[in-house]
């Protein structure tokens, strides 16, 4: 019943296991370090590297947990409201009429953990865009020219023209999409963008 | 393999030649490398055929590389067939839904009112196979890269374009 119960981060929460995705995604770096360890004879070096892996993974999980605890969203009558920010707080209110498209995606780590991410895009940027992983793509006449990888932590909240809510159960993502599409249809006449 | 069906895909089917095309495009680097290898290995084997020991090594090397090449082609083909099977697109009364990717699925939903343009194009390999790509984009950069239905034959491409344009203009017309 998406219309009767309120839709926010309490009804469709970011799952706890999304935190482990932050470790899974930096696994390639850890793997290189582990290979390094295997070929080392020096015990001190082995402990140093293993310590770095554990502390690094722990910090990643901690940061992700902080971001989740500071993140909230809800769908009210007229706006999609999102609040984020651990130290500096940001709030964003998007009228349903200007939402351009909704994407549901699952990466490899999402498939393993049984999660899905929903992306809501409006039309407020062009030239280059950032995806949920901070990969910035330079675009020339609609043709992607180059992709640069910036960070390994997935976006939670909004950046540029993208709102990204990761770590949802696939069924929840689907229901959220249905609810958003219904709101968009309701408010399609007050569009300020598009055609 | 279970084919993802929708009313739109049934009406405007994806061409099976798409699998062939994507297999060739996906393994073009390996095809070129293998061609290179064969054209060098032939003369080399001829030169080295005086020494039976070397000839055995070159022979087994040739066999292993050929096996590797065949495995890559087969795996690419199977992946593309899987991709083809799960490729889903549907023009519902209110939205366009496109979903692709067997391992990492991605589904994009665009309302007709947000469509900025519809265009049809063919790349070089599409010309060989007689395939068309139908692109539709909203005002975002990401939609231009994701929202396209590629690998349909001429009749289906024309049909898709006609239906898209008809629905879009009807939706906009009602609004103003």
- Smallest Cα distance from B20 to chain A, Å: 24
Mean of the per-residue pLDDT values for chain A? 80
Return the percentage of chain A with pLDDT > 90, whole number: 27
Q: What is the pLDDT along chain B (176 residues), one digit of tens a residue?
A: 678 888 888 889 889 899 999 999 888 888 998 888 888 877 777 777 777 777 788 788 888 988 999 999 999 999 999 999 999 999 998 889 999 989 989 999 998 888 888 888 888 888 999 999 998 877 776 777 778 898 899 999 999 999 999 998 888 876 55
Scored b (16 or more CB within 10 A) or e, B47-69 reads eeeeeeeeeeebeeebeeeeeeb
Domain boundaries, chain A: 1-195
pLDDT band of A139, cuts 50, 70, 90: low
CA dihedral A107, A109, A112, A116 (to 10 degrees): -50
- Residues A62-97: pLDDT tens digits? 989 999 999 999 998 888 999 988 888 888 888 888
Q: Enter the tokens of residue A69.
A: 């605890």
A132 burial via Cβ count (<10 Å: 0-12, 13-18, 19+): buried
Which pLDDT score is estimated for A126?
46
Distance, CA of A169 to CA of A6 (rounded, Å) = 17
Nearest-by-Cβ selection for A107 from B104, B113, B147: B104
Nearest CA in chain A to B114: A194
- Decide: A103 and A180 in contact? Cβ < 8 Å: no
Q: So what's the pLDDT on residue A2?
A: 47
CB contact under 8 A, B139 and A111: no
β-strand partners of A72 = A83
Query: Is B19 in contact with B84 (CB distance < 8 Å)?
Result: yes
Q: Do A101 and B115 touch (CB under 8 A)?
A: no
Q: Do B109 and A131 touch (CB under 8 A)?
A: no
Q: What are phi and psi of B65, to 5 degrees?
A: -65, -40
pLDDT at residue A107 greater than cutoff 50: yes
Phi and psi torsions of B38, nearest 5°: -65, -45
Asked if A182 has any chain B CB less than 8 Å from its own CB, the reply is no
């Amino acid at each position: 019943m998406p219309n009767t119960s309120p839709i926010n981060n309490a009804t469709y929460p970011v799952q706890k296991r999304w935190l482990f995705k932050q470790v899974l995604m930096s696994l390639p770096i850890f793997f290189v370090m582990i290979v390094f360890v295997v070929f080392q004879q020096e015990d001190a070096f082995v402990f140093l590297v293993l310590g770095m892996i554990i502390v690094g993974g722990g910090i990643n999980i901690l940061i992700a947990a902080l971001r989740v605890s500071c993140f909230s969203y809800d769908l009210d009558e007229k706006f999609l409201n999102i609040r984020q920010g651990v130290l500096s707080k940001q709030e964003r209110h998007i009228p349903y009429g200007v939402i351009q498209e909704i994407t549901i995606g699952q990466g490899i780590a999402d498939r393993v953990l049984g999660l899905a991410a929903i992306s809501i895009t409006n039309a407020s940027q062009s030239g280059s865009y950032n995806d949920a992983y901070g990969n910035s793509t330079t675009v020339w006449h609609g043709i992607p020219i180059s992709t640069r990888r910036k960070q390994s932590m997935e976006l939670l909240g909004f950046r540029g023209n993208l709102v990204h809510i990761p770590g949802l159960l696939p069924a929840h993502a689907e229901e959220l999409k249905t609810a958003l599409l219904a709101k968009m249809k309701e408010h399609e006449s007050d569009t300020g963008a598009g055609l | 393999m279970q084919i993802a069906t929708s009313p739109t895909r049934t009406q405007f089917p994806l061409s099976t030649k798409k699998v062939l095309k994507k297999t060739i495009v996906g393994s073009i680097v390996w095809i070129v490398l293998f061609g290179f290898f064969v054209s060098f290995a032939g003369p080399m084997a001829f030169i080295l055929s005086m020494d039976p020991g070397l000839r055995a090594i070159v022979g087994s090397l040739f066999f292993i590389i050929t096996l590797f090449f065949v495995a890559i082609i087969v795996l690419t083909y199977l992946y593309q067939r899987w991709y083809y099977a799960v490729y889903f697109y549907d023009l519902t009364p209110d939205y366009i839904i496109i979903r692709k990717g067997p391992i990492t699925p991605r589904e994009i939903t665009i309302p007709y009112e947000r469509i900025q343009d519809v265009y049809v194009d063919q790349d070089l390999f599409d010309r060989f196979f007689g395939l068309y790509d139908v692109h539709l984009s909203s005002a975002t950069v990401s939609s231009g890269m994701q929202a396209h239905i590629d690998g349909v034959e001429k009749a289906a491409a024309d049909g898709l374009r006609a239906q898209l344009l008809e629905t879009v203009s009807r939706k906009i017309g009602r609004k103003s």
